[in-house]
Amino acid sequence: MMKRILVTTDGSDSSAKGVRYAIALAAKQQASVLALHVVDVKLLEGPFLRDLSASLGAAPYVNYQGSIAMILEERGKAALEHVAKLCAEKGVHCETELQTGIVPRVIVEQGDLVDLIVMGRAGEHKDFLEGLMGSTTEAVARRASVPVLITNQDTPHVDQFVLAYDGSRHAKAALRAGVMVAEQMSAKMHLLVVGEETARHWLDEARDYLQSHTIALEYVRKTGDPGEAIVAYAGECDAGLIVLGAYGHSKLREIVLGSTTSYTANHAACPVLLVR
């Protein structure tokens, strides 16, 4: 059961979608929300401030670092107050947390004692990313000990969802999480495998596990590039969510062959739940 949901906010439009999604999900699950804003310590480091001053043609003045820290903290407080207000309107219990540190690291640490982390697909730099997943979001998804939901939508609509399965350790964890989604949301699971003969074995393996669970279920096998096949099929069946194991291969292999996780998170029209 999801009883505590962590949502990150930086005041951007993208993070606002994640906030609204998390609050709506918490209301449905009778869960509480922990809203987190992290002041990026890198923005307070001396070299960064010196470079900034030089680019502006000005000399750093006394307590410049303290002034910047105060501005960033006030911005974070405003973002957290907005989340608390939205939660109050929906009757959702809310805690807020303002911290300073390395952003992905703080999020991962705070996520150790929640059931789910919700993040917008891109943060405050979304205009430069053109809708793609930000580096902070990717770093959290790679390291978090709990599932991470990445969304570009603000309302959960999960009548049916796609569970992508490839037999890996992370995929098995995703399969267990998918059963919870199906049971808690009364949603139909489309269990999708992508490949040739090996994929048939994955289907049989998943069937063995799922036969003891009473959920609405459909088995599907596709061929082609896994990321493209997952995104395309989710569009075909109008899925409200994609669930898959997060980053099952080494970074070197991902550089050479590409990452199914990154492609899916970046191109899916619906939210993506990444599980490790």
Verify that 120 and 20 share a domain, yes or no: yes
Beta carbons of 123 and 10 less than 8 angstroms apart: yes
Sign (positive/negative) of CA torsion 113, 114, 115, 121? negative
Q: What is the pLDDT of residues 173-184, one digit of tens each?
A: 999 999 999 999
> Are residues 35 and 95 in contact, defined by beta-carbon separation less than 8 angstroms?
yes
Task: Please give the Cα distance from 30 to 4 (Å, whole number).
Answer: 9
Q: What share of the chain is helix, strand, coil (3-state, %, to 5)?
A: 50, 20, 30
Where does the chain show beta strands of DSSP type E? 4-8, 32-40, 94-101, 116-120, 148-151, 160-164, 188-194, 217-222, 242-245, 272-275
pLDDT at 256: 34
Domain boundary among 123, 151, 179: 151
Sign (positive or negative) of CA dihedral 241, 242, 245, 247: negative
- Reply yes or no on whether the pLDDT at 22 is more than 80: yes
140 plus 167 within the same structural domain: no
Q: Do 143 and 177 reside in the same domain of the chain?
A: no
Q: Are residues 147 and 166 in the same domain?
A: no
255 and 183 assigned to the same domain: yes
Same domain, yes or no: 129 and 164 = no
Q: State whether 141 and 169 are in the same domain.
A: no
- Indicate if the pLDDT at residue 57 is higher than 90: no
CATH code, 188: 3.40.50.620
**Predicted local distance difference test score (pLDDT) of residue 135:** 86
Q: Assess whether 90 and 140 both reside in one domain.
A: yes
Helices (H) and strands (E) in the chain, counts: 11, 10
Average pLDDT over residues 32-37: 98
Looking up residue 62, the CATH number of its domain turns out to be: 3.40.50.12370
Local confidence band at 58 (pLDDT 50, 70, 90 cut-offs): low
132, 151, 170 - which closes a domain: 151
Question: Domain ends where: 104, 130, 151?
Answer: 151
| pLDDT of 81 | 98
Q: Rounded mean pLDDT of 144-165?
A: 96
Residues 170 and 247 in one domain: yes
Domain count, the chain: 2
Indicate whether 62 and 80 sit together in one domain. Answer: yes
Q: At what angle do helices 169-185 and 197-210 cross, to 10 degrees?
A: 50
Q: What is the CA radius of gyration of the chain?
A: 20
Are the C-beta atoms of residues 9 and 35 closer than 8 Å to each other?
yes
Domain range enclosing 94: 4-151
Closest CA to 222 of 192, 252, 178: 192
% of the chain surpassing 70 pLDDT: 84
Q: How far is CA 235 from CA 51, 230, 241, in A?
A: 46, 9, 10
- Lowest average pLDDT, out of 47-61, 122-136, 144-158, goes to 47-61
Q: Looking at residue 253, what is its pLDDT?
A: 42
- Whether residue 142 is predicted with pLDDT greater than 70 in this model: the reply is yes
pLDDT of 257 above 90: no
30 plus 117 within the same structural domain: yes
Cβ contact 161:178 at 8 Å: yes
